[in-house]
Amino acid sequence: MLIQMKDICKKYVLGGEEINALKDVSLEVQKGEMVAIIGPSGSGKSTLMNILGCLDVPDSGTYILDNLLMDTARENELAVIRNQKIGFIFQQFNLLNKLTALQNVELPLIYRGIPAKERLQRSMGALKKVGVANRKDHLPNELSGGQQQRVAIARALAGNPPIILADEPTGALDTKTSQEVMTLLKELNEQQGHTIILITHDNQVAELASRILRIRDGKITEVGVRND
């Protein structure tokens, strides 16, 4: 078991109004799964993703990530766990504009203190895996949207984290490119064994996952498992 969440609650208070963004969410993800979390705008998807990704902490409940109890982890420990355990993929790619594709992929490895030679090897390996090694010296604005997302996926993969979290990874892409990126994620899951959790509001995207969780008003309401 890679992820175990039990009775996670998260509430925001804004201008005297309380918003229960997550209500007693329990969730388990096994190593090697590809899980889609689908739900309408405002249902709590990003809130859940932020907690899964150790970018935020819940008000109550327990979260065990790769056998580590996250409740007790302090801010600086969370940053280390985040860097080692999780690769993030975002809707807007979040690449640094002044760095080349290769430099963007290398960056998280620099933070980890990985020596230059190994860094280059791993980063080139990741770029090859996602099919954009021939664009390594391009800046983000010299790449297509699909290529930028591939570079972002390579960046998430380079550190070889046990978990990849993707928040609307195809949200900024056209239908065809979106299918290509989803095919790539599916391959990474099936052939390389990466555990992937992705958020989407697109049913077609969710269909590619091995399991679908639906979230509505902060509650996980339905779990669909594929039979094939």
Interface segment toward Mg ion; rule CB under 5 A; list 6-14, 42-50, 100-108, 187-195? 42-50
Distance separating alpha carbons of residues 28 and 12, to the nearest angstrom? 24
| 43 belongs to the binding site for ligand ATP (CB under 6 A) | yes
Footprint of ligand ATP on 166-205 (CB under 6 A): 201
227, two tokens: 């039979």
The item of ligand ATP, Mg ion, none sharing an interface with residue 200, based on CB under 5 to 8 Å by kind, is none
Distance separating alpha carbons of residues 191 and 157, to the nearest angstrom? 14
Binder among 19, 80, 116, 223 for ligand ATP (CB under 6 A): 19
Environment class of 36 (CB within 10 Å of its CB; exposed 0-12, middle 13-18, buried 19+): buried
Contacts (Cβ under 8 Å, ≥6 apart) of 29: 1, 2, 3, 35, 195, 197
- Least distance from C-beta 201 to ligand ATP, angstroms? 6
Residue given tokens 């860097």 in the structure block: 83
| 12 belongs to the binding site for ligand ATP (CB under 6 A) | yes
| 42 belongs to the binding site for ligand ATP (CB under 6 A) | yes
Interface segment toward ligand ATP; rule CB under 6 A; list 42-50, 52-60, 95-103, 182-190? 42-50
- Least distance from C-beta 75 to ligand ATP, angstroms? 18
Interface segment toward ligand ATP; rule CB under 6 A; list 13-21, 117-125, 146-154, 175-183? 13-21
What is the binding site for Mg ion (CB under 5 A)? Answer: 45-46
Q: Under the rule (CB under 6 A), what is the footprint of ligand ATP? A: 12, 14, 19, 21, 39, 41-47, 201
